[in-house]
Amino acid sequence: MADRTITVRPFVEDDLDGVLDLLRAALGETPLLRRTPELFAWKHFENPFGRSLLLVAEGEGRIAGLRAFMRWDLVTPGGDVLRCVRAVDTATHPDFQRLGIFRRLTVAALEEATAAGIDMVFNTPNPKSGAGYLSMGWVEVGDLGVMAAPGRGLVSGKATPDVLPEASEFLTDPTPATGLSVSDRPARGLRTPRSPEYLAWRFGAHPTARYYRVDARSSTAVVRPNVRSGRRELVLSDVFGPEPAQAVGAVHRRNRAAYVAGWFNTRSPERSAALRRGMVPIPGVKTLTLVAKPLRPLPMDVASLATWDFASSDLELL
């Protein structure tokens, strides 16, 4: 019988190939989401909030599990910054299931995060891992639903998006004159700080996904073309500026996709703008469930969805 001894230790550079093999085996790949060294580096090493906390489980001379806490700051409506991490790339190799690897890695990562002064962990787990998080003290914040509207491509039969300016050309130098300010509107809850460094990394430096901007007077939308079930969709990733309805309306007028879709907090102004522009919640479509675990007392109730101010770009990491 093979030795099933499992060792938990920090990630080192030589682990990368084994970690990518693990992610492919445990989480799979899609044409858009390839488990490449470039994507891993973008998420875990180039992130402007800091290098991820990375732990691996090793067994039988190979990588059996990964626990990644990706650093992600959040700002409160009062301007205070919370040092957070998001639990991403949770993976146990199929050959090492039922050995308690998920729990061992998570406990060790929580200890490391607490020692590093992290305020909170949050994530959107899949149903398989969600129960495990709740059993370890995470609280369920709420569901973030999908909203969608038919695009002009569905009406015309041409499911092809317009050629739009590259987001990277715009977002690496955000100024009010171009329609996007880094302080585009006050936070209405916990929100990702829109610094120039964050915008350049999030929308301009992604190794595979292409983001584009749509301007409308004082506001701007950032969108991502995608193909789902053979149809062209346009993901509404984020909206910046004081009048989000203007930008959402411009997206509808200019796109040639079959439909426009996005995840939005039920209380966000982007959602209100989307509703006014014809995007509606899609019943029965799989939603994301937001969960969180404070690591110290916080000045707000993070278990309430009203405390959060998230859009699609905060939730997906394509």
Q: What is the tens place of the pLDDT at every residue in 183-220? A: 567 778 899 988 888 888 888 888 888 888 888 877 88
pLDDT tens digits for range 81-105 = 999 999 999 899 999 998 999 999 9
Give the model's pLDDT for residue 184. 64
- On whether both 107 and 203 belong to a single domain, the answer is no
How many Å apart are CA 117 and CA 112, to the nearest integer? 9
- On whether both 111 and 154 belong to a single domain, the answer is no
Render the burial of 128-139: b for 16+ CB within 10 Å, e for the rest: ebbeebeeeebb
How wide is the angle at C-alpha 236 spanned by C-alphas 231 and 240, nearest 5°? Answer: 160
CATH number, residue 280: 3.40.630
Tell me the pairing of strands 62-75 and 212-216: unpaired
**195 in a structural domain:** yes
Give the model's pLDDT for residue 154. 52
Among 90, 123, 156, which residue terminates a domain?
Answer: 123
- On whether both 150 and 288 belong to a single domain, the answer is yes
Nearest to 211 by CA among 236, 243, 176, 178: 236
- On whether both 275 and 158 belong to a single domain, the answer is yes
CATH number, residue 22: 3.40.630.30
Among 123, 156, 186, which residue terminates a domain?
Answer: 123
Give the model's pLDDT for residue 156. 46
Q: Which domain holds residue 233?
A: 144-292+310-315
Among 94, 123, 152, which residue terminates a domain?
Answer: 123
Give the model's pLDDT for residue 299. 87
Nearest to 278 by CA among 148, 119, 141, 104: 148
DSSP secondary structure string for all residues of 200-224: IIIIIS-SS---EEEEETTEEEEEE
DSSP letter assigned to residue 172: T
Give the model's pLDDT for residue 217. 79
Number of domains in the chain: 2
pTM: 0.86
**302 in a structural domain:** no
- On whether both 149 and 263 belong to a single domain, the answer is yes
Percent of the chain topping pLDDT 90: 39
pLDDT tens digits for range 132-171 = 899 999 999 988 878 888 876 654 444 444 445 555 555 5
- On whether both 56 and 183 belong to a single domain, the answer is no
